[in-house]
Amino acid sequence: MRVAISSGHGLKIRGAAGPAPWGLDEVDEARKVVEEVADVLRSADVEVVTFHDDVSTSQSENLNRIVSWHNSQQRELDVSCHFNAYQVTTTTPRGTECLYLTQSELAANVSRAIAGAGEFIDRGAKKRTDLAFLNGTDEPAILIETCFVDSKPDADLYDEHFAAITKAIADSIAGEAMQPAAPAKPPAAPLPMPPPTIGLGDRGSCVALLQELLEVGSTDGEFGAATEAALEIYQQQKGLSVDGVCGPNTWAALNQDSPLPPYPPPPLDELHERVMQLIVETAQRSALASYYWQDRGVAPSGYIKGMCFGYATMLRKLRHRDAVALITAQADRGDPEHDALSWYAEEFKSLDMDNTATGIDTLRHLFVLLMALGSRESSGRHCCGRDTSATNTSSDTAEAGLFQTSYNASNCSSDFDRLMDEYFTMSGQQTARDLFDDDVLCAQSEWANYGSGDGYDYQKLAKATPQFAVESTALVLRYLRQHWGPLNRKELDIGAFQMTDDLLMDIQQIIEGGH
């Protein structure tokens, strides 16, 4: 095994320092520890290379230089040596700890070994996801916080037990290096398209599926500490990178254990031509077809027809217990800060539109709100590009489509990206493009998209595939209503609520009639 060890910070970028005369200097001491640990490892026939940064003059340069050096080495383990600071000089012992991203067991062993040798408090292994060294190195890595430079008891113990501390670090690393390698397990076959990568703080049906597969106590669709802990145990058992994040490799392993549902969900069967004709005729003869929306005028006929079809599609998805349909049909959560139905609760109540029960009525009323939002934001034009008077030209913030939603709204639920996967290559009836095109002229400039990556793809999809815009915005309305200024200011035309509800009820009857 070959180990690469570096000292934290640099000759010109100093780290923490305790007060004179007893305080420790992080840079000076880390260099001593690195070289002493390297000597002990070499005596145990472990190959070691070391590095100290004598060149960098800024923190970012220093971090980049250290990470680049590690990634340029042929090695199996990266180690960075640091000293901690309490920020206030203290006569209280503070102890040692070892930070990790994936190497929880090794980090715990190293921390325990240092604590035993130096008579320190063992603060243990601490997972960190925000450190450049742990995130940037390509091989397994740990970052040692030997002790606290501004704790006098720590400094005294470090001086007294220096040789024992460095030997303990080396022995714990050498012990890891000398363990016989476990037989390699063939990796699970990759999925053609895995569900979205999810981690701590995420929510949605993919989280609920993961919780079900891991038999987490609550399948609430909220990725919390219990889900993360269960996932890390599973990853360790499967020989995967233990990072608490469910990505392509973990999804593939889960699929090998128990086949996952088809991902993305397949398109619905196409509606019969006669049913489509009924939907279109119902939309055309409705009062909403000639309604003059406040400050926006009469909507394109394609908008009314398209939204009627959009509602019909969501009703059919609800029958199939589709995740997004189930979420959007949830009862008013009593959360006006996030849920648009809660924010407009008084307006709905004044019209006797009850959203207190999960089901079709609540879903229909959400579409009432959705149709008013689309009228306000784009005048019902599916190809509407971003507001050119604004400066939001990054891929994540550029608005697009019927509701002028932007990709940064995707943070509200993993089901947003699930919808992107579902609709990205879809063609035909379910996209609703032909319906929304009617009576709409799209300038070439409106098709322009900004930035790159997922945000760019989102803008393109939102305009070219209106049904995706309908469903993704319906989802965001339940989780992130503050995404839209006009909705926040309650500028939507509530005068159209009742006639919109009447129209959607007619569409509902067409679908419930067995179509």
| pLDDT tens figures, 46-55 | 999 999 999 9
Mean pLDDT of 111-134: 93
Per DSSP (E only), the strands in 266-389 are 292-293, 297-298
| Spatial separation of the C-alpha atoms in residues 79 and 38, rounded to whole Å | 11
- 2-178 and 183-263 share one fold: no
pLDDT for 463? 97
pLDDT (0 to 100) of residue 1: 81
Q: Would you place residue 185 in the very low, low, confident or very high pLDDT band (cuts 50, 70, 90)?
A: low
Q: What angle do CA 143, 146, 150 make, to 5 degrees?
A: 125
Q: In this predicted structure, what is the pLDDT of residue 391?
A: 80
- What's the CATH architecture for 2-178? 3-Layer(aba) Sandwich (3.40)
Place of tokens 């509800």: 501
Inter-residue contact 307 to 470 (CB < 8 Å): yes
Per-residue pLDDT, 514 = 58
pLDDT at res. 180: 40
- H helix or E strand, kind and range, residue 6: strand 2-10
**CA–CA gap between residue 255 and residue 230 (Å, rounded):** 17
- In sequence order, which residues have a C-beta less than 8 Å from that of residue 83 and are 6 or more positions away? 8, 15, 16, 24, 26, 29, 30, 145, 146, 147, 148, 149
Residues 6 or more apart whose CB falls under 8 angstroms from that of 316 comprise 268, 511
Torsion of CA 404, 407, 409, 412, to 10 degrees: 150
The pTM of the full predicted model, rounded to 2 decimals, is 0.65
The answer to whether residue 327 scores a pLDDT higher than 70 is: yes
Phi-psi region of 51 (alpha: psi -120 to 50; beta: other; left: phi over 0): beta
Instruction: Give me 118's structure tokens.
Output: 């130096």
> What CA–CA distance (Å, rounded) separates 195 from 347?
38
Asked if 395 contacts 456 with a C-beta cutoff of 8 angstroms, the reply is yes
Q: Give the pLDDT of residue 66.
A: 97
Q: Which helix (H) or strand (E) holds 118?
A: helix 104-118
pLDDT band at 87 (very low <50, low <70, confident <90, very high): low
Q: Are strands 122-127 and 96-100 parallel, antiparallel or unpaired?
A: parallel
| Residue (of 135, 132, 133, 113) closest to 124 by Cα position | 113
Question: Among residues 15, 8, 2, which one has the least CA distance to residue 134?
Answer: 8
Higher pLDDT, 174 or 88: 174
List pLDDT tens digits, range 250-288: 999 999 998 999 999 999 999 999 999 999 999 999 999
The predicted model gives 463-483 an average pLDDT of: 97
Greater pLDDT, 515 or 88: 88
Cβ proximity of 338 and 480 under 8 Å? yes
**Average pLDDT over the chain, rounded to whole?**
93
Rounded CA-CA distance 101/220 in Å is 26
Q: Per CATH, which fold does 183-263 belong to?
A: Muramoyl-pentapeptide Carboxypeptidase; domain 1 (1.10.101)
User: Helix, strand, or coil here: 77?
Assistant: strand
- Tell me how far CA of residue 44 lies from CA of 36, 48, 119, 139, 181, in angstroms: 13, 11, 24, 22, 18
Q: Which H or E element spans position 50? A: strand 47-53
Sequence ranges of the domains in the chain: 2-178, 183-263, 273-512
